[in-house]
Amino acid sequence: MVSGNDDNSGTTQTNAWRTIQKAASKAMAGSTVYIGPGTYYETVTILVQGNLFNGSITFTSLMPDNPAIISGENAAVASPDELRNLRIHHILGGGKTGGAMAITVYNKNQETSLSKLIIDNCTLHDCEPAWSEALTLNGNIELFQVTNNRVYNMNNIGIDFIGGESNMGALGARSGQCYYNTVWNIHSSYDSSAAGIYVDGGSDINIGKNEVYNSDAGIEIGAENQGRIASGMVVHENYIHDNDKAGLLFGGYDSERGRVINSTFQNNRLENNDVKNTGAGEIVVSFASNNFVYSNAIKPNTKNIILTVDQIGGLDNVFNRQLYYPNGPNANEINLIFNWGNQQYRGLSAFQNATQQELQASVLSSNAGSV
């Protein structure tokens, strides 16, 4: 429960102010504002600032394991459907459970969707969202646009579209667009598997013309919750490069989770992913079916591992018309490695003959340069 009185001195816990806004209006340079647990129904405008001589002003939780909540339930905002030109950074100190996110939009209401949300031209950096995400749309949200944003230096997933979490209802993020975003330096603090752009149980989302690099993984389409289906995804014309693990991943984690179906991955550029040589290669598939991977330009790292597909849940997908650039002096198609189920095929021809996949793929010279 929130306590205190704005007529107090605000200098001790027993003489605390009641509102965060009071501190945001009166705190001195170099001071630390400790925010007690509870839910604060207020809109906060920061009217104070630090300086070079005394230092910054820090707003932090009095009890990190029981952090304060600033609720917008009763807040009046000029345009709830658009977030433009924001710079959000150094949201830190999420405690043991994390969650110091930059932009998070939830909608648990199953009767009325949040529709036509726009998040455009925002810069988000140096936050601590783990175990959560930096920019998240979760729940009954549709017809959204997430465009022209820059997301970097995060300790978990960069951009995420979620559906199927038990506390959010059946309807998930859907029928939206994620275009022209640049995402880099996304590294999970707990499992080194954070994707720059991630879908967890969403549907019918176009993800196009983004750049993702120097992260744990590039773009991932998944479904973490049991029985959840992610479908109708179109992932196209993205530049995915220099990530620690795979560049493109799709499917559920295991047989106890969801699946990815009826999605298309087309005209993407994948280059020099799996920097840490995990053996995953450029593309990883697990527990996914009836998906189509077409016309992507792929230049692997010097290990030349293209693909890792799970034996049990990943074989029922179609791969064709990729353009491959073998990496290394005099490298050619025989250097390309495809891990298909429980078999490894060395060379595109061997992979084609054994699986009848990639029958119209092409191989360019290793001297062709960047894709």
State yes or no: pLDDT of 199 exceeds 50: yes
pLDDT category of residue 118 using cuts at 50, 70 and 90: very high
How confident is the model at residue 78, as a pLDDT?
Answer: 45
**219-272 per-position pLDDT tens digit:** 999 998 888 999 999 999 999 999 999 999 999 877 778 899 999 999 999 999
- Partner residues linked to 217 by β-bridges: 195
Residue 191 neighbours by CB under 8 Å, 6+ apart: none
How confident is the model at residue 2, as a pLDDT?
Answer: 85
SS3 per residue for 278-308: CCCCCEEECCEECCEEECCEEECCCCCEEEE
Dmax (CA) for the chain in angstroms is: 80
How confident is the model at residue 340, as a pLDDT?
Answer: 97
Element holding 171 (H helix, E strand): none
- CATH class, range 81-368: mainly beta
**135-188 per-position pLDDT tens digit:** 999 999 999 999 999 999 999 999 999 998 878 888 999 999 999 999 999 999
Whole-angstrom Cα distance, residue 102 to residue 128?
9
Ranges in the chain annotated CATH 2.160.20: 81-368
The model's pTM is: 0.84
> Reduced to 3 states, what is the DSSP secondary structure of residue 335?
helix
Contact, 187 vs 157, CB < 8 A? no
Whole-angstrom Cα distance, residue 182 to residue 329?
31
Backbone angles phi, psi at 25, to 5 degrees: -105, -25
Rounded percentage of the chain residues whose pLDDT exceeds 70 = 95
What are 55's two structure tokens? 């230092």
How confident is the model at residue 11, as a pLDDT?
Answer: 86
**36-93 per-position pLDDT tens digit:** 888 888 877 777 777 778 888 888 888 877 777 777 666 554 445 888 898 888 888 7
Using the structure block, give the residue that is written with the tokens 């593309």. 283
Q: Do the bridges between strand 292-294 and strand 229-231 make them parallel or antiparallel, or are there none, so unpaired?
A: unpaired
Whole-angstrom Cα distance, residue 363 to residue 371?
12
Amino acid at 192: S
